Structure 1
């Protein structure tokens, strides 16, 4: 066979090899289209119908007593540093002059060596006796010259000199008496006595130590009562009747432990005055509360120590015709959601608080529509007029907006 006759055969074989895969691909695509056209598509599920749910509370018109709470620290009303007024070696320190010890007014706390001061007193007494003797002699001389001046036995000048001598002697006696008084005072000052009933805060001296005039011996504070500086903010002051003048009635205050919440101890006192200026940083006004017998020496009560942080509760004015809203039900400080009593539809409302504390937000009763309930459950959205399902009080289900079953007949309206 020639080369010319074999060329068509080769072309036919090539076309056959290309055509067979194409036919197979075409047949497969055609078969897929036929099979796919008979597959039934499942219908998309219907969306669940949402229903807002919330617990509700009744809103009552009440008279609400305002209670102001503020934090402070207990401080002594009289805390002083004892100083030596005379110099000398410390010879005695009382057992009542130890840190934390109690003492009574007039108790001997520290004693300084008295020997030098006894000697000084003896010298002063001797000088006084000498001055008195000189005065006695001067009076005798003056009297004699006054008797002789009438007979011209002595001159008037001699009489005047005798009178001047007597006056000088009298001045010397007065000076000597002052010296005795000073010596007696210095001797007294060797015994440092307690100026009031109190306790020892610090002790800075010991037996055998040399104390000079104005040497600090220790710090003490009075225990008849303590004071507490209570900061009152500008928002709180309108609700308190604070005493401004001495004749004003004290305002009762209750103090609790500011460190341990489990401490049930309570101390009662009275606000007796306010400071005359506002704090330059916070602009708070400080009210001074007084607590009698803080260490319970005359009454059986827990001690209220100096430096103790406390939480003070002060009874303020009474707000009339108001509604006390639970703080958890107030959103963004001034927004609440009400529920109509009959239709159970939502009514978002802006409120203007009169007062608020950790538990309540107080609003005027006139600002709350009548025949409404308060929604207390947090909801992600609360469009006006939306239908709501009220959660029974005993229902322990979720406290957020929940979904109901698909067959529910109530749907959310916008």
Structure 2
């Protein structure tokens, strides 16, 4: 009996395991009913829009340059000597006037040379007078055969030599006067001292540099013009051509708002070998504001130039921020409120606008100015009202006539 009970227990254990597995499989194999996922909310595209208007757009060329003196020279001595006086106007940064004495060189030797030359001239004039009288007397005597022809010829030669000596002495006097005059170094124009290289007591020699000076009546700026910009400018090529207006602004501190008026007066006439740009020369009158009391425009100062160009007619000025990937814009149909992506080809662009022909934009469209990631053609769009006081579309309405919500 005990043996039979053990056999039954061993046979029942596998059966129990199989039964339990079947029950578990039956429960797990039943498909669980899943609840349907909630439908995704449809998101309406929203954008601000801007009216598009066909206008005449004045082109303004932006370029840059550095202010330069139109006449900058090295002031040099013409004679040798010691510097005896330096004018206060001949200090670095000082202004001077045309004809003003800037430097004086010891004149004692040159005054003495002038006295000697004048004495020689007096002696030469006396010798010439005597030679002329002698020649005249010989010419009278030869008529009575009192003197020979040879004596007359000698008298004439003596008179010619005396004339030559007198002319030489006169030239020496003029040279001595010129050397004495050169002991005072005069300003060749109204200008300013850039650098001083001589001091009191210093010895000079002919052509030794005394300093660097430049004129202040006007300054110039060399402005590069690209080939693309040239087609929108009428640059002066001849002396009687009308100048072109230019506005200059400080390139170092643009926030200052200070501007200077200039005029393009000529071009260099050749393209730069490296950049293939044409350089135009702008002139600024009274750059240091000595007469106009305008803020000074200093030599060497970098400036940004705005040049008045031609006027583009019948065009549309697109805000640069509304143009994507250089030539892509999105329009909004004013009636249907649907999107119309469009590629455009610009004829001009600057920092604020991209200019396209007026015929490139279909009528009855607004320009979408809000950046949208996805802009399918024909998609409905909601207009975001522009709350600015000058907005042309401040109260856009939806298709059913109700006011479009901003939130």
Tell me what 1:243 maps to: 236
How big is the shift at 1:43?
2.3
Given candidates 86, 109, 113, the residue that maps to 2:106 is 113
Tell me what 2:399 maps to: none
Distance 1:331 1:162, change over 3 A: same
Q: Secondary structure at the match of 2:254?
A: coil
Given candidates 307, 318, 327, the residue that maps to 2:311 is 318
1:127-146 → structure 2 map (5 Å cutoff)? 127-146=120-139
1:248-267 → structure 2 map (5 Å cutoff)? 248-267=241-260
How big is the shift at 1:32?
5.7
Residue 302 (structure 1) aligned with residue 295 (structure 2): yes
Tell me what 1:373 maps to: 366
1:8-47 → structure 2 map (5 Å cutoff)? 16=10, 20=13, 23-24=16-17, 27-28=20-21, 30-31=23-24, 33-34=26-27, 37=30, 39-47=32-40
Tell me what 1:338 maps to: 331
Tell me what 2:184 maps to: 191
How big is the shift at 1:37?
2.6
Distance 1:33 1:165, change over 3 A: farther
Higher relative contact order (CA 8 A, sep 6+): 1
1:131-170 → structure 2 map (5 Å cutoff)? 131-170=124-163
Normalised to the residue count of structure 1, the TM-score between the two structures is 0.88
Tell me what 2:82 maps to: 89
* Unmatched segments (≥5 aa) in structure 2: 389-407
CA distance in 2, matches of 1:199, 1:365: 53
Normalised to the residue count of structure 2, the TM-score between the two structures is 0.90
How big is the shift at 1:197?
0.6
Distance 1:257 1:29, change over 3 A: farther
* Unmatched segments (≥5 aa) in structure 1: 1-5, 396-414
1:263-311: CA deviations, max 9, x gaps? 1211112111111111111111111111111111111210111011111
CA distance in 2, matches of 1:29, 1:183: 137
CA distance in 2, matches of 1:255, 1:337: 36
Alignment RMSD, CA only?
2.3
Distance 1:363 1:139, change over 3 A: same
Given candidates 196, 204, 214, the residue that maps to 1:211 is 204
CA distance in 2, matches of 1:358, 1:22: 87
How big is the shift at 1:192?
0.4
Q: Secondary structure at the match of 1:164?
A: helix
Tell me what 1:405 maps to: none
Residue 73 (structure 1) aligned with residue 66 (structure 2): yes
Q: Secondary structure at the match of 1:37?
A: coil
CA distance in 2, matches of 1:379, 1:91: 79
1:150-180: CA deviations, max 9, x gaps? 1112111111111011001101100111101
CA distance in 1, matches of 2:14, 2:334: 77
CA distance in 1, matches of 2:385, 2:157: 111
What is the aligned residue count?
388
How big is the shift at 1:261?
1.9
